[in-house]
Amino acid sequence: MESSRNQIINNKLLDEKGVTLVIKREDEIHPYISGNKYRKLKYNLEEAKKQGLKNLVSFGGAYSNHISALSYAGKKYGFETLGIIRGDELGDDLEKTLAQNPTLRFAHENGMKFKFVSREAYREKDNPDFKKALQSELGEFYWIPEGGTNDLAIKGCEEILTDNDKKFDFICVAVGTGGTISGIINKASDQQTVLGFPSLKGEFLEAIIKEKTMPGKQWKLIHAYHFGGYAKINKNLISFINDFYQQTAIPLDPVYTGKMMFGIMDLVQKDFFNRNSSILMVHTGGLQGVEGMNQRLLKKKLPLLDV
Ligand SMILES: *Cc1c(COP(=O)(O)O)cnc(C)c1O
């Protein structure tokens, strides 16, 4: 079982508040199947192989870390991959889309096929009829939900924490679909508190996580740091990520880990954590998204991420 290294962060604020912050570098676990996406795919790929299925189908937005990771995993482990991508306009001129979008270009180079669907159709993706229609079109395939989250993904994410990590009071992790935090909650000890930082708006995640995790665990979602919603970003966040990189040489991604680290530092500042508490922040990767984000920032004439 693979484990990533823990790296301690030193800065004035942490010293002043007497808080220990350590980053678990899951971003380093694989260059292309990064961070939690590796954990989430691992047992799903084994299961697809066991079932004798050669085709993997999954879903994502045009800059999805999951789509990027899946395409590479498919190439490496001998699966055909199909990505169902949100935004039918992207399919109008595939050449142009690939020229402009580094995530989809990478996936395409790994042999992934795409099916671009409208936002309305994409919303129906968990409807059994959608799956049936796809099955009659494509034949048998192994289905991986959006963001890669299912029970096997959670099982994989239970391997992120090691016994050595039981010494931390808090474990912090970014939240999208809630799969990663569910695995972490299941593996955390009853004395530890898991804090989730959703990167999107909405209170629906609590119920999903509750259903996927063991009772009696201490966890909480902190909704104050989504910066307006999924993939929304502002100048403050950009300069925070750039400063953090300058100070630590640790790159954060703008969609998940950057927002979480901003939140952690803000909470430290506000004395959310008692003196002498220790925090393990799980760096779930996502750095492939930086290039695409910078293209969008450039268009909006905002400062760029420099990580
Ligand atoms: C996908 C992703 C997440 C969210 O994981 P979930 O299991 O969907 O909650 C967090 N961080 C990064 C970098 C990701 O790519």
Same fold, 6-31+151-299 and 54-140: yes
> What's the mean per-residue pLDDT of the chain?
96
Per-residue pLDDT tens digits for 261-282: 999 999 999 999 999 999 999 9
Is the pLDDT assigned to residue 1 strictly greater than 80? no
Domain 54-140: which CATH class?
Answer: alpha beta
pLDDT exceeds cutoff 90 at 134: no
CA atoms within 13 A on the CB side of 211: 10
Q: Quote the pLDDT of residue 98.
A: 98
Q: Judge whether residue 257 has pLDDT over 80.
A: yes
Report whether pLDDT(53) > 90.
yes
Across 46-60, 118-132, 222-236, least confident range? 118-132
pLDDT of 61: 96
Whether ligand 1 lies within 6 angstroms of the CB of 175 is answered as: yes
| pLDDT band at residue 34 under the 50/70/90 scheme | confident
Q: Provide the pLDDT for residue 202.
A: 87
Kindly give the distance from the C-alpha atom of residue 97 to the centroid of ligand 1, in angstroms, as a whole number. Answer: 24
Q: Give the integer Cα–Cα distance in Å for 276 and 261.
A: 19
Distance from Cα 16 to the centre of ligand 1, integer Å: 31
Q: Which atom of ligand 1 is nearest to the CA of 149?
A: 7
How many A from CA of 94 to the centre of ligand 1?
A: 27
Categorise residue 233: left if φ over 0, alpha if ψ from -120 to 50, beta otherwise: beta
Is residue 176 in contact with ligand 1, taking CB distance under 6 Å? yes
Q: Binning pLDDT at 50, 70 and 90, where does residue 138 land?
A: confident
For a ligand 1 pocket test, name from 34, 225, 284 the mutation site with the most ligand atoms within 8 angstroms of its C-beta. Answer: 284
3-state SS, residue 292? helix
Distance CA 272, CA 252 (A): 22
Residue 55 near residue 79, CB atoms below 8 Å = yes
Sequence spans of domains, the chain = 6-31+151-299, 54-140
Q: How confident is the model over 212-228, as pLDDT tens digits?
A: 999 999 999 999 999 99
Q: Ligand 1 centroid to 53 CA: how many Å?
A: 26
**pTM for this prediction:** 0.96
CATH class belonging to 6-31+151-299: alpha beta
> What share of the chain has pLDDT > 70, as a percent?
100
What is the atom index within ligand 1 of the atom nearest the CA of 256?
Answer: 11
Residue 36 CA, ligand 1 centroid: distance in Å: 6
For residues 284-302, average pLDDT: 96
Question: Mutate which of 23, 36, 65, 293 to test ligand 1's pocket (most atoms within 8 Å of Cβ)?
Answer: 36
Tell me, what amino acid is at 141? F
Q: How sure is the predictor about 2, in pLDDT bands with cuts at 50, 70 and 90?
A: confident
36 lines ligand 1 (CB under 6 A): yes
For 152-170, the pLDDT digits (tens) are 999 999 999 999 999 999 9
> What is the CA(159)–ligand 1 centre distance, in A?
15
